[in-house]
Structure 1
Amino acid sequence: MDLDLAQVRAFVLAAEELHFGHAAEELSISQQALSKRIARLESRLGMRLLDRGGQGVRLTEAGRRFLEPARQALAAADVAVATVLDAHRPLRIDVWGHLYAPMRTVAQVATGEPRLEPGHGRDLPSVIAGLLHGDIDAAFGRVHAPLPAGLTHRLVRLEPVDVILSVDHPLADAPEIRPSQLRDSVLWTPGALHRLDFLHRFAESFGIADRAEGTNLGLDHFLADLAADARRFSLLPADVPLPHGPAIRSVPLVRPTPLYAWSLLWRGDDGHPLLRALVSAFVAEAERNRWLEYDPVRDWLPEPHPPPGSGRSV
């Protein structure tokens, strides 16, 4: 049986998003066109792959069996196209949010195909400019609205964040800290707070009135300045390795635990043949490591609503 890869791709995106609107937007087609592609695929296979009803979109048993082989078929097709269209140029991907070490996540995906050429953007606006001008093919970091038309992003990781503070801070020896306990402390930021969306929203949400801004000269310098003041604190992902030297503590934040949202960002009409393979690699890694687990009772996100398709196992 010969399968239409456009139909297979429509099914895979709908199955991953569990939302026809989001899948259609990612493919830059209408929901009606997406539905027709999936219906034709189901007709060719002779069985229903997705249930559409009042409870939303759900995979059937046949759809669950078909999903992973379908992903593999698309990845193989993308690689085949790449060998013909652009065999020598790697996919250029910039990261931003360097204190939060985005390369840790990219490195887990970049061990094989697709071939990546990593770079560094200063911040989200500079990365957006690079994408729109065609200087890079994709980017990885924390995405927040508004985004210009023509760009697509996909959430790939929700990472728990710890509080870091001086060993002389009153809470330094606590086994865990609630965000509300930081109201009498000073939020130390590596730059202007209004440009650091995650930290800004954390401060506003949990009533952190006292803030102090430094200059982003790298993690070592940032932590040394933090350690110099017993009232200061900041936030870092829980598994970011801290350098030896500065007298600081890293303490888990609980009730709720802040989650830092990492996304892959690209131009909707980007023609790099390895882009789909990169997205598939991130999706597979997220599923393998349970990167998108989220419990609104236990966790905190700056976004007003939980990301589509995420859910924490209990």
Structure 2
Amino acid sequence: MDLDLALVRAFVATARTLHFGRAAAELNTSQQALSKRIARLEKLLAVRLFERQGGTRLSEAGERFLPAAREALVAGERAIAAVTGAGPVVRIDTWGHLYAPMRTVADAVQELGPVRWEPSPGRDWSSVAGALLRGDTDLGFGRVHPLPDGRDAGLTQRLVRLEPVDAVVSPSHPLAGAHALRPADLRGSVLWCPAELSRLDFLGRFADEFRITRRHDGPNLGLDHLVQHLRTEPDGFTLFPADAPLPDHTRLRCIPLVEPTPLYAWSLAWRESSRHPLLDTLLRGFTEAGRSRRWLDYTPQRDWLPDIDHPKLTVRQAL
């Protein structure tokens, strides 16, 4: 039995969207042509891959076929790249977008030479973990933390950067004139969160650790929305990685935090059972960038990391 990758691609697109029209648009074909490809694949495999009554959903056979189908497409792309000499594409999903994760990836890329990157935004760590497990992406980059019910089982992570965190306040905040602040100094202020606090593991743990009881969260409406609130709330603050860029027009104050300095842990994540052929090269690139830029400096007496991030330091010591 020979699998036609065009048929497999039609199946994977339809499985992702669970909608024949949207899948056809994604593949730049007609819905009729897409349906014919799915029918040919089902005839070839002698199973029904989709249930079509009451909407489109995967059949049991379709659920079993999907992970291997995704891997077949990736293998096909790598085979073509090997022949054309273009090199394999590295698909990387990032999250924590207000903190500009791609600036760290870009610095590491400089150490790697020509690598074809295909970046994509992920909603959060939970959604990127799902994409890694399904084979929809090769790497994830952001802050990794344990997921409920072991949903991240089968994934491996590598700490690549510990970034100091600043307090960001409006010019009218009572502490706006300080050259540095301790986290405890912020207890009388309101922590403004750029999304629902349940999705912001680091901010939640920071607030618990330093007893920041006044917290305000809501939907993620972007950086400008967060900045607007901070400007109009004289007792509000948020946290921002020290090297992450804030637009010049914000007129906000970024104040270093000390005694201790909170560190934001950036990590790479991947599925160990489906390692990208360039993974070891990529890890070396991040390691070299980290050494030259001192990304992994950590002093327990000076710095603060959430307890769940401490195990990541063991891997750091081995680099």
Calculate the TM-score normalised by the size of structure 1. Answer: 0.69
Are the equivalent residues in 1 in contact too, given 2:100–2:245 (CA < 8 A)?
A: no
1:196 aligns to 2:197 (yes or no)? no
Match runs of 1:267-282 below 5 Å:
267-282=271-286
- Equivalence for 1:255: 259
Q: List, as ranges, runs of 4+ consecutive aligned residues in structure 1 with deviation greater than 6 Å.
A: none
Report the Cα distance in structure 2 between the residues aligned to 1:106 and 1:179, rounded to whole angstroms: 29
Secondary structure at the residue paired with 1:269?
helix
Aligned CA distance change for structure 1 residues 230 and 136 (closer, same or farther; 3 Å): same
Report the Cα distance in structure 1 between the residues aligned to 2:178 and 2:291, rounded to whole angstroms: 33
- 1:218 Cα deviation after fit: 1.9
Report the Cα distance in structure 2 between the residues aligned to 1:218 and 1:199, rounded to whole angstroms: 17
- 1:195 Cα deviation after fit: 1.4
- 1:289 Cα deviation after fit: 1.3
- Equivalence for 2:99: 100
Superposed CA deviations along residues 211-231 of structure 1, whole A, max 9, x for unmatched, are: 011332222221121111001
Deviates more, 1:105-114 or 1:179-188: 105-114
Which residue of 225, 230, 236 corresponds with 1:232?
236
Superposed CA deviations along residues 148-201 of structure 1, whole A, max 9, x for unmatched, are: 221100000000000001110000000000000000000000111121000000
1:187 aligns to 2:191 (yes or no)? yes
- 1:84 Cα deviation after fit: 6.0
- Equivalence for 2:118: 117
Aligned CA distance change for structure 1 residues 85 and 139 (closer, same or farther; 3 Å): farther
Report the Cα distance in structure 2 between the residues aligned to 1:192 and 1:97, rounded to whole angstroms: 13
- 1:88 Cα deviation after fit: 4.9
Which residue of 152, 157, 182 corresponds with 1:153?
157
Superposed CA deviations along residues 36-75 of structure 1, whole A, max 9, x for unmatched, are: xxxxxxxxxxxxxxxxxxxxxxxxxxxxxxxxxxxxxxxx
Match runs of 1:5-84 below 5 Å:
83=82
1:169 aligns to 2:173 (yes or no)? yes
1:298 aligns to 2:299 (yes or no)? no
1:220 aligns to 2:224 (yes or no)? yes
- 1:86 Cα deviation after fit: 8.5
- 1:247 Cα deviation after fit: 3.4
Q: Which has the larger radius of gyration?
A: 2
- Equivalence for 1:135: 136
Secondary structure at the residue paired with 1:245?
helix
Are the equivalent residues in 2 in contact too, given 1:86–1:273 (CA < 8 A)?
A: no
- 1:117 Cα deviation after fit: 1.0
Are the equivalent residues in 2 in contact too, given 1:163–1:251 (CA < 8 A)?
A: yes
Report the Cα distance in structure 1 between the residues aligned to 2:316 and 2:273, rounded to whole angstroms: 26
Query: What is the RMSD of the two structures over their aligned residues, measured on CA atoms?
Result: 2.0
- 1:267 Cα deviation after fit: 0.4
- Equivalence for 1:308: 314
Report the Cα distance in structure 1 between the residues aligned to 2:153 and 2:170, rounded to whole angstroms: 43
1:285 aligns to 2:308 (yes or no)? no
- 1:277 Cα deviation after fit: 1.3
Identity of aligned residues (%): 55
Report the Cα distance in structure 1 between the residues aligned to 2:87 and 2:101, rounded to whole angstroms: 26
Deviates more, 1:245-254 or 1:119-128: 245-254
Report the Cα distance in structure 2 between the residues aligned to 1:226 and 1:235, rounded to whole angstroms: 11
Aligned CA distance change for structure 1 residues 230 and 118 (closer, same or farther; 3 Å): same
Superposed CA deviations along residues 74-99 of structure 1, whole A, max 9, x for unmatched, are: xxxxx9xx746985541100110001
Secondary structure at the residue paired with 2:158?
strand
Structure 1, unaligned runs of 5 or more: 1-78
1:241 aligns to 2:241 (yes or no)? no
Calculate the TM-score normalised by the size of structure 2. Answer: 0.68
Report the Cα distance in structure 2 between the residues aligned to 1:273 and 1:84, rounded to whole angstroms: 15
Higher helix share: 2
